[in-house]
Amino acid sequence: AALPDPLGSIEEMTTRPNGLQIGKMRVPLGVVATVYESRPNVTVDIAAICLKSGNAVVLRSGTDAHGSSQILAEIVRRETAAAGLPEDAVQFIDSTDREEVGALLTAHEYIDLMVPRGGADLIRRVRDEATMPVVAGGIGVCHTYVDVDADLDMAERIVVDAKTVRPSVCNAMDTLLVHAGIAETFLPQIAGALGSRGVTLHVDDRAARLVAGLPVTPEDYDREWLSLDCSVRIVSSLDEALDHIAVHGSGHSEAIVTDSWSASQQFLKTADASAVFVNASTYFNDGGQFGLGCEVGISTQKMHARGPMGLRELTSYKWIVLGTGQTRG
């Protein structure tokens, strides 16, 4: 609630040679709908951020969290009315019938933006069936690359954090890439740290000579584990690591651990993701950690929003033109 209100703010104001002042004013999108699965906190987070950004919201919870989400939505509606806002600005679909999701996805005359929150199957269905604009994301195949010039103790802390704090979230690390030049030292070190926390390593042939683990499969490199599992690959160079990320990454979160300025800059410029980290955990890709408050989701698209979607990402703009009687004819 304490975050700055984006609505009505004027951006990029310029004065043309003819004296016209032209800029952009932030405005609400209108009605935002979200279909989400198993986390009832999403009910409150999305309702709050939509109301703060001037939007109405339609909420459709998954079966597992339906009861809790319904109660939370009732509380939000009650408090919305108590604050002097229209209670019906928050709508909760009190049904777990999958056919009603289909009806919601085709209600483009009433809904301006659809945001799916959940697994790959849900996101795929929304993208395929929705007739209104969709901002999707949350599917993470996230990498941490430990460079030949890395501080290995720092790398251990970062990798352990990215993999083990909340392994079931989309910004958790799924694949660890290690430069061959430090693999003999670092892999046993990190295998011990991860193993003590219950992580199962899925290792390539080169890594298998240094640490114990299950054989990694080609499919594993495209897997969002959502568990205490981690794919491990040894690479011969930064370029090879970036090539791997380009093929297998989901555009979510990518990290490099290095003391090399040139390596960090190459990684920042080349890795294609909503957030790219140098010497920090991928677990930081989060609206709260970025100072945005809560978030609607983490978009892996490039249009209309990318990364954590906060207040500003739930607004659009209109051009405003201020004149003193100018005509064009």
In this predicted structure, the answer to whether residue 88 has a pLDDT above a threshold of 80 is: yes
When pLDDT is averaged across residues 207-235 and rounded to a whole number, the result is: 97
| pTM to 2 decimal places | 0.86
Helix, strand, coil percentages in the chain from 3-state DSSP, rounded to 5: 35, 25, 40
Give the pLDDT score at 138: 67
Alpha helices in 112-237 (DSSP H): 120-129, 152-164, 180-195, 205-208
Give the pLDDT score at 269: 98
* 157-179 CB burial, b ≥16 within 10 A, e <16: ebbbbbbbeebebbbbbbbbbbb
Q: What DSSP state is assigned to residue 202?
A: E
The token pair that represents 205 in the structure block: 């042939």
Domains, the chain, ranges and CATH? 10-135+309-322 (3.40.605.10), 142-284 (3.40.309.10)
Give the pLDDT score at 292: 86
Q: What is the pLDDT of residues 228-279, one digit of tens each?
A: 999 999 999 999 999 999 999 999 999 999 999 999 999 999 999 999 999 9
The token pair that represents 254 in the structure block: 């990518």
How far is 315 from 57, CA to CA, in rounded Å?
13
When pLDDT is averaged across residues 292-312 and rounded to a whole number, the result is: 86
Give the pLDDT score at 57: 97
Give the pLDDT score at 142: 97
User: Could you tell me the pLDDT band of residue 96, with boundaries at 50, 70 and 90?
Assistant: confident
* 108: preceding bond cis by omega (within 30 degrees): no
Q: Percent of the chain beyond pLDDT 90?
A: 82
Q: What is the pLDDT of residues 276-298, one digit of tens each?
A: 999 999 999 998 899 888 888 88
Name the 3-class secondary structure at 166. coil
Tell me the β-bridge partners of 320. 23
How far is 53 from 113, CA to CA, in rounded Å?
14
